[in-house]
Structure 1
Amino acid sequence: MGRRSDEGNARRAQPLSGRRARRPEVLDGVDFAAWARLWAELGAGCPPRATYEELLRRYREPHRAYHNGQHLQECLQVRRLINAACHAPAEVDLALWFHDAIYDPLRSDNELRSAQWLDDVARDSGLGDETRRRLYGLIMVTRHDGAPASVDEAVLVDTDLAILGASAARFEEYDRQVRREYRYVPLFVYRRKRRQVLEGFLARGRIYTTAPYFDAFEQQARVNLASAIDRLG
């Protein structure tokens, strides 16, 4: 079988298959050893273990139903499975660790505050200005309000959006999780706003910028989005 088929088989097996993840502190690939290796790849000192533990504590906050440790694990696993070429893989992976570090559905500056936190940690760990600038931009592009400015930003955005191309079961679970995070919004308002978001993705010429992610997820994402829009009525 060809590479594309191998990637598809791996993706269907895991991570976006509908299996519920375990608690974030024991998720595969989100352990302290993986965290320390990532900083070593960047040539930086590993931040104190307390920083790692605080990050995981954030991902366990009770108001998170989707933007939690499961999402972090899935993003990191998708990165490994798809393995799309990028200029600075370790920077992309570190940005994934922090891209939802701060998450409050009542606020609109979550990406900004997440980027600022990573910038503080990166500076204290000895990363240079240019690296920190790129990391900041990687997190800010996950606002999904503009086109990625680099290959690395495109890979990060595509990874964040991989959930749209998950199995039907996992996508439906994701859809329910998002609703739980916005449970304070009246249902009729939520349906209208959610429909606008989903239709916005579906109207794009292509949802995924990079070829490996397009090949792996585009077709299923369009099926999932159309089904979700139908369910909203």
Structure 2
Amino acid sequence: MSHADAPQWLVSAFVRSAVAVGARADRGEIQRTARALVERWQEPDRKFHNLRHLVDVLARVDELAEETHVPDVVRLAAWYHGAVFSSSPQVAYAGRGGEDEVASAELAREDLTALEVPPDVVERVAELILDLARHDADERDVDALALCDADLATLAVEPQRYAAYRRAIREEYAHIPEEDYVVSRIAILTRLLQRRRLFVSPFSLAWEEPARENLTAELSHLRTRLAALGGTEAPSAPHRSGSGGTTATWPAKGPAARREEEQAPAGRAEDAPRVTPEPTPWPAAPNGAAPEDEDERALSGIERDPDFELRRRARAKRRRVQGAAQSTDDAAGSAGSLFRPPPRLPRS
């Protein structure tokens, strides 16, 4: 979808939401921000996580709007939820590929602050975006639950559109060796299917059955393909209720990638640029200390460990208990269809 093909209502829809939450910048500045976002969603390496995906998430948010507290805040979070994106091998194998919720939330803060949106609203939009990193929002936060469900709704489309989604995701990661991709994708689907429920908003419960049918069919296909490739599935972590992820990472180097390097013709290694992936930044700890282990890094990518949040909370609880025992001063209180405009907005 080129810029010229972008639905004409998109920019005005962003303007309406920004004004509704209190933006005081002039209309022209809000429009320029919207156009810059449209350009981001049309970057050439986006094959699935592109403008069509954004429009589809906005459509799903609109379907769930009646059960949200502040629909326009949720819509703005949808606009920014994957505004920063990369599928390069360096970030994919480092576990930071795909939609970068941390960077996207920071972009939302910068843009919305410049548009003079009230600070509490800016932080709320960023918080909703960050909740998507695990698709494990607080069950009492209906706005966060609605956004998580809207983002996962791509799993519930009819089989033909789901097949198109699968092809687009693979094309997005075409540079990843097939075996590594298949192993990672199997891990994603297995973890999703282990969840007690994929969708948690009342109006989205009808999406549960078709989504599970699509996931089960794809998982069967991928396991057959992996057997043909001679590969093996990655060990799965024990499942806990409420866990799950929508995206996947690869090990530092997957088996297929390592074999490709080993089989490369002699003399070619020095011809290729050597890229040392930057380390994943540590999120700031409340007391300024580094997190206890690697699990607490600000992960992103096309798959994340579904038990991350539960482990993080358990560690945080242990730290609070230990801190309270030592000193009371230390006691311290975290995939869309192929284009369908939101039903309440005019079609282009």
1:114–1:139 Cα contact (<8 Å) kept: yes
CA distance in 2, matches of 1:81, 1:209: 14
CA distance in 1, matches of 2:65, 2:119: 27
Write the deviation string for residues 126-157 of structure 1: whole angstroms up to 9, x where unpaired: 22222122111111111126334611110000
Give the share of equivalent positions with the same residue, in percent. 27
Task: Tell me how large the CA RMSD over aligned residues is.
Answer: 1.8
Cα distance change on mapping 1:164 and 1:78 into 2, 3 Å: same
1:66–1:174 Cα contact (<8 Å) kept: yes
> What residue is the counterpart of 1:64 in the other structure?
46
How much does 1:80 deviate?
A: 2.2
- Using structure 2 for the length normalisation, give the TM-score: 0.57
CA distance in 2, matches of 1:61, 1:23: 10
User: Aligned ranges for residues 1-233 of structure 1 at < 5 Å?
Assistant: 22-23=1-2, 26-28=5-7, 30-45=9-24, 46=27, 47-106=29-88, 107=91, 108=96, 110-144=100-134, 146-148=136-138, 150-215=141-206, 217-233=207-223
**5+ unaligned residues in a row in structure 1: which ranges?**
1-21
How much does 1:213 deviate?
A: 0.7
Cα distance change on mapping 1:204 and 1:42 into 2, 3 Å: same
CA distance in 1, matches of 2:70, 2:34: 21
Write the deviation string for residues 59-87 of structure 1: whole angstroms up to 9, x where unpaired: 11111011000001111112223434111
Cα distance change on mapping 1:35 and 1:26 into 2, 3 Å: farther
Write the deviation string for residues 179-228 of structure 1: whole angstroms up to 9, x where unpaired: 1111111101110100000111111000001111112x100000000011
CA distance in 1, matches of 2:130, 2:3: 24
- Using structure 1 for the length normalisation, give the TM-score: 0.84
Q: Which amino acid aligns with 2:197?
A: R
Write the deviation string for residues 108-143 of structure 1: whole angstroms up to 9, x where unpaired: 271111111110111112222221221111111111
1:25–1:56 Cα contact (<8 Å) kept: no
| Secondary structure of residue in 2 paired with 1:31 | helix
Give the stretch that moved more between structures: 46-55 or 131-140: 46-55
How much does 1:30 deviate?
A: 4.9
| Secondary structure of residue in 1 paired with 2:86 | coil
Greater RCO, 1 or 2 (C-alpha within 8 Å, sep 6+)? 2
How much does 1:26 deviate?
A: 3.9
**5+ unaligned residues in a row in structure 2: which ranges?**
224-348
CA distance in 2, matches of 1:119, 1:191: 36
How much does 1:24 deviate?
A: 5.4
**Higher Cα radius of gyration:** 2
Give the stretch that moved more between structures: 122-131 or 78-87: 78-87
Cα distance change on mapping 1:103 and 1:30 into 2, 3 Å: farther
Task: Report the count of equivalent residues.
Answer: 211
How much does 1:173 deviate?
A: 0.7
